A and B are shown apart, each in its own frame.
Chain A
Amino acid sequence: MEVKKPAVAGTLESSDAQVMIEPGDGKIDLSLQSSVMNQYGRQIKATILETLARLEVTSAKLTVVDKGALDCTLKARVECAVFRSCDASDANIPWGGAVR
């Protein structure tokens, strides 16, 4: 999927994460801030990158502010931000396909 415009998903509330995505310059540029960085930073980063890979996003600038979100929440927020950024949210979301 191609990121066409800036989009945001999620909130800054506890147990959530705010994912901001913008068109990139050919690579994934991730800026991550987390309240549990020391404990889970690596896992959060892996989850975000995996989700992007599954959605076939290869070029994007991401800013994630994590407030202790579970993996499933992170995945959902990243997916939602990507779909919003390519106007997929009013077309067909690939339930059972890339989203599983």
Chain B
Amino acid sequence: MADTLSTISPRETRAQRQVDALLEREGIRRDAHIDYTCGIFDDDWRLIATGSCYKNTIRCLAVSGEHQGEGLLNRVVSHLTQVQFERGNSHVFLYTKPKSARFFGDLGFSEIARVEGRVVFMENRRGGFAAYLRALERAPQDGCAAVVMNANPFTLGHRRLVETAAARHPFVHLFLLSEEAGPIPFAVRRRLVQEGIAGLDNVLLHDSGPYIISSATFPSYFLKGEDDAIRAHAALDIAVFAQIAAALGITTRFVGDEPTSRVTALYNEVMARDLPAHGVDCIIIPRLAVNGRTVSASTVRQAIHDGAPDSVADMLPESTRRYFASAEAKPVVRAIRAMDDPKHY
């Protein structure tokens, strides 16, 4: 047997075409988000198995029909796992079709969540998700609300959303996206949220970790994607969230309506459709408006980008205003000003 496992660079157009053809034959849609691809070639340099990575995930795995049962998938997954460890990722996630999920169970992966008929989301450690759920701080009673935000940066709109949830429910679980995805560092976003929700005693702040709107569950939040892909990612993210909700006694998720960002609007649409099926209500709160303008973090970033932070002072709580006026924020402000497009697509 002289099969060869080889890295396939984006520039190798012939091999990339073979990857496309193999995926299509096996009924797998090629993901737009890929940063590493490998393949196994036979003696005549025909591609017989392939797999790819994006950040800490493994995806787009396929083995040619006539070579199934030869252990090729094991070689591809072994190789991609090594690639992930070289990147420093020991916690690896994987997507696959529901009917293939059991093969990955044999390769040390365990299921986190699935969207029936479409995709199964897995991780390379047993009980990783269960341990995450156990580690989340619980509220003393059920019937809680949940809010998920990026708070990039924290505005009065975020404050209004949390206040609304906190007024209607005994406790609010507030999940803050912990992935670094913009010029404002996570530690700063977190501090501004903490300061911004001061006085609301029934709010529990959690870091979202890898399981809520991360580049593992929802890559199109961070990178442009097609509508179909966004919907598929959103459905998966919401399937994971439903389990978190069940573990924490969350009955309602509050979201702000989304007039500007396409990806968030699609996400909300899928959420409004899917969440009730998981036993969680989804309440969409109209955006806060001040002085006739809709409050939005992207408007704030745009104003900072344009060098006119004062024009959005009425959208921000005192803590966020103070931060952006401080010396500490100077490099962050510089980074925002240097961005081509400070608004989310």
Residues of A within 8 A of B (CB): 5-8, 10-14, 18, 20, 22, 31, 33, 35, 63, 65, 67
Contacts and interface: CB of A to CB of B under 8 A. Distances in A.
A65 B75 contact: no
B68 interface: no
Interface of B: 71, 74-75, 77-79, 81-82, 85, 88, 90, 106-108, 124-127
Given A7-B85, A63-B124, A63-B126, A12 B78 contact: yes
Contacts of A12: 74-75, 77-78, 81, 107-108
In this complex, the member of B75, B77, B108 whose beta carbon has the largest number of chain A beta carbons within 10 angstroms is B108
A11 B106 contact: no
A67 to B, nearest CB: 7
A63 B74 contact: no
Contact of A13 (B75, B88, B90): B75
A8 B74 contact: no
Contact of B78 (A5, A6, A18, A31): A18
B106 A35 contact: yes
Given A8-B81, A12-B107, A12-B108, A20 B90 contact: yes
Contact of A63 (B71, B82, B125): B125
B126 A13 contact: no
A6 to B, nearest CB: 3
A14 B71 contact: yes
A63 B107 CA distance: 11
A81 B89 CA distance: 15
A12 B77 CA distance: 8
Given A11-B75, A33-B108, 9 more contacts: A6-B85, A8-B82, A8-B90, A11-B79, A14-B71, A31-B125, A31-B126, A35-B106, A63-B108
A34 to B, nearest CB: 10
A13 B108 contact: no
A63 B88 CA distance: 16
Contacts of A22: 90
Contacts of B77: 12
Nearest to A63: B125
Contacts of A10: 78
B85 A8 contact: yes
A11 B125 contact: no
16 contacts: A7-B85, A8-B81, A8-B85, A11-B74, A12-B77, A12-B78, A12-B81, A12-B108, A13-B74, A18-B81, A20-B81, A20-B85, A31-B126, A33-B126, A63-B124, A65-B108
